[in-house]
Structure 1
Amino acid sequence: MARDQVTAFGTLPDGTQVMQVEIGRGALRASLLSHGARLRDLRLDGVSHPLVLGASSLAPYLGAMAYFGATVGRYANRIGGGRFTLDGHEVTLDRNEAGRTCLHGGHDGTATLPWDLVDHGADHATFALELPDGHMGFPGELAITTTYRCQDSCLEIVTEATPSAPCPLSFAHHSYFALSDEGNIDQCRLQIAAERYLPVTAEQIPTGEIASVADTPFDFRRPRSLGPQTIDHNFCLARGTGPAARLTAPSGLQLEVETDAPGLQVYTADHIAAPAGPDPDRAACGPRAAIALETQEWPDAPNHPTFPNPVVRPGQIHRNRTTYRFRNT
């Protein structure tokens, strides 16, 4: 298979064609889709199974797999009540989660939209998207690019966005990483460079407390097995201390996450559904088959003045650079 290959992958209901681009360098190869600027498939030499959950056709991405591998925004994670106050004015957003919260930018967030493939080469691809003022309730027009680059055993993802009006911005890469093909993450070991995390309400909205991980089930400062623990929380990353997270499978296959984002949402995928039919070319898919490691701004930050400020103003650039580095020991 050519490393620089663009093919049609499917057609959206409105007639828009979705393109797939294959990139790779050294031991790592990726398949990307223009729908959601998403990572569909990721392969590492010496590993027989895909490293992320994905589908071999477009239809699942228009339903239950809408966020799998996608670039989610314009505000990743949740904004409680689907509202916030900015410069003295209340902003009301699309409430796409049980009518209560705005999740991943609303029902028509960036994960659901067709992006333009504006540049690609043997080891990289760039997708671009423009959102109008008021899209899902957010103020200002927004120009966004997401660039994937394979660098030997590393996948680097850079998302940049420039607003025409003040707006809180947060983008996250939403792959579910499957370092084992056994369909369960419980025996994987996780380490996170975070002294604190955000407790949440029953609706998964931060309470406002920035809590110590010490003496809690969220203390991953030293590597330990995930076990059956359910996690869907933001970890407040320490800056300049090396990798933000390290995930190790029983086989020894390891993933390191490096980022300039202030937060890491860890989701153990307890609630994802298994596909309707078997797909022998994909990793096992079902509850706890994989784990999401989403680098982002802190959830609900527009409603918490003690959280890092996510508001980006005209003339500024929001940037999230994340590298996923694989080692097969």
Structure 2
Amino acid sequence: MIFGTLPSGRQVEQVELSSGRLRAEVLTYGAIVRTLEVSGRNVVLGLDTLDDYRTRSRYFGAVVGRYGNRIAGGRFTLDGTEYRLPVNNGPNSLHGGTEGFDSKVWTIADRGDASVTLTLVSPDGDQGYPGTLTASVTYTLEDDALRIDYTAETDAPTVVNLTNHSYFNLKGVGEGDILDHVIRMEADHYLPVDADKIPTGELAPVKGTPFDFTEPHTVGERYDGAYDHCFVLNGGITVAAGGLTMEVTTTEPGVQFYAGSMLDGVETPYGPFAGLCLETQHFPDSPNQPQFPSTVLRPGERRTSTTTYRFI
């Protein structure tokens, strides 16, 4: 079905998926997961209209890229050449720049009752990034799980870091904040950040800090709940609230845990802590920090990753 029409005249489609007790709505705009229902309970923040997504979204449900998270100073050097990116988060480039993948219309490559594959071609120079990048994302409902598969290929050396930016509230959208959600995370280290939220380069132990979720803690129990940090994963993540448990597994080395503290209820329809994000990904600012796992993609290579959100 048609969800809306952009000022350019291009139409945005909504694809409905279902399997077992799960139902989802996916938009071609931003490859957005607009709704995800578990036994009739919608657990992701979404917006009512295409105009809302264009003007009032904080990346709700979208695939962000080319580079999810922050790149310091909006610049990086690859093979001796410096590339400059749009700065849209203080001094940094965030989630691919001012016109990232979240604001593009993706193409439906394949669809079925329980899955859809969307593709996007990002031309050389798009938002300052080198190389023509071809990306795809496949959303698949597997009775009790949402599986997300990403692929990326390029015709010239570039950097890429794709992730999904859904905000989860396991009690149901509109049923209070997420400060009471209990999280357990198999992550022995996290990335400390500077005042601009750029990693210092250290992989710091979580033990004895508010970032230790190796044992279960509620979001609001410590750190005023204001988490917006990357954790180094050595296993999975479990979130529980409202009688529902979500298990997250991924092939990615890290996860950006953001508790939604900067939602304001004015510029966006949702207030602080209305939902939490678990953005599975490579580390922020990796192109400028060679000690981190590389995000460089070269011609002839194919970058793939898989993340699964399973509901119990």
Task: Give TM-score, length-normalised by structure 1.
Answer: 0.91
Contact 1:66 1:112 in 2 (8 A): no
SS in 1 for 2:188: strand
Deviation at 1:74, TM superposition (A): 0.5
Match of 2:176 in 1: 183
Q: Given the superposition, is the C-alpha separation of residues 29 and 275 from structure 1 closer, same or farther in structure 2, using an over 3 Å criterion?
A: farther
Q: Which amino acid aligns with 1:120?
A: R
Deviation at 1:275, TM superposition (A): 6.1
Match of 2:124 in 1: 133
Q: Does 1:53 align with 2:45?
A: yes
Match of 1:71 in 2: 63
Contact 1:197 1:234 in 2 (8 A): yes
Match of 2:292 in 1: 307
Deviation at 1:200, TM superposition (A): 0.6
Contact 2:43 2:168 in 1 (8 A): yes
Match of 1:44 in 2: 38
Q: Given the superposition, is the C-alpha separation of residues 115 and 214 from structure 1 closer, same or farther in structure 2, using an over 3 Å criterion?
A: same
Deviation at 1:128, TM superposition (A): 0.7
Deviation at 1:56, TM superposition (A): 2.1
Q: Does 1:24 align with 2:18?
A: yes
Q: Give the Cα–Cα distance (whole angstroms) in 1 for the partners of residues 129 and 298 of structure 2.
A: 13
Deviation at 1:22, TM superposition (A): 0.1
SS in 2 for 1:81: helix
Deviation at 1:320, TM superposition (A): 2.0
Match of 2:77 among 85, 103, 112: 85
Question: Equivalences for 1:275-290 in 2 at 5 Å?
Answer: 285-290=270-275
Question: Equivalences for 1:1-329 in 2 at 5 Å?
Answer: 7-45=1-39, 47=40, 49-98=41-90, 100-181=91-172, 182-227=175-220, 228-238=224-234, 241=235, 244-249=236-241, 251-274=242-265, 285-327=270-312
Contact 2:58 2:268 in 1 (8 A): no
Which deviations, in whole Å up to 9, do the C-alpha atoms of 1:214-261 show, x marking residues without a partner? Answer: 1110000111111132100000111xx4xx211011x32111111001
Q: Give the Cα–Cα distance (whole angstroms) in 1 for the partners of residues 125 and 245 of structure 2.
A: 42
Contact 1:96 1:102 in 2 (8 A): yes
Q: Which amino acid aligns with 1:296?
A: Q
Which deviations, in whole Å up to 9, do the C-alpha atoms of 1:173-200 show, x marking residues without a partner? Answer: 0000011143211111001111100011
Q: Which amino acid aligns with 1:274?
A: G
Contact 1:64 1:273 in 2 (8 A): no
Which deviations, in whole Å up to 9, do the C-alpha atoms of 1:4-37 show, x marking residues without a partner? Answer: xxx0000112111000000011110000000001
Q: Give the Cα–Cα distance (whole angstroms) in 1 for the partners of residues 304 and 163 of structure 2.
A: 11
Q: Give the Cα–Cα distance (whole angstroms) in 1 for the partners of residues 176 and 130 of structure 2.
A: 41
Q: Give the Cα–Cα distance (whole angstroms) in 2 for the partners of residues 298 and 64 of structure 1.
A: 27
Q: Give the Cα–Cα distance (whole angstroms) in 2 for the partners of residues 274 and 106 of structure 1.
A: 23
Q: How many residue pairs were aligned?
A: 307
Task: Give TM-score, length-normalised by structure 2.
Answer: 0.95
Q: Give the Cα–Cα distance (whole angstroms) in 2 for the partners of residues 135 and 236 of structure 1.
A: 29
Q: Give the Cα–Cα distance (whole angstroms) in 1 for the partners of residues 71 and 133 of structure 2.
A: 19
Q: Give the Cα–Cα distance (whole angstroms) in 1 for the partners of residues 293 and 184 of structure 2.
A: 23
Deviation at 1:64, TM superposition (A): 2.3
Contact 1:60 1:66 in 2 (8 A): no
Q: Given the superposition, is the C-alpha separation of residues 273 and 60 from structure 1 closer, same or farther in structure 2, using an over 3 Å criterion?
A: farther
Q: Give the Cα–Cα distance (whole angstroms) in 1 for the partners of residues 49 and 225 of structure 2.
A: 32
SS in 2 for 1:194: coil
Identity of aligned residues (%): 45
Q: Which runs of 5+ in 2 are unaligned?
A: none
Q: Which amino acid aligns with 1:36?
A: G
Deviation at 1:277, TM superposition (A): 10
- Superposition RMSD in Å: 1.4
Q: Give the Cα–Cα distance (whole angstroms) in 2 for the partners of residues 119 and 56 of structure 1.
A: 25
Q: Which amino acid aligns with 1:247?
A: V
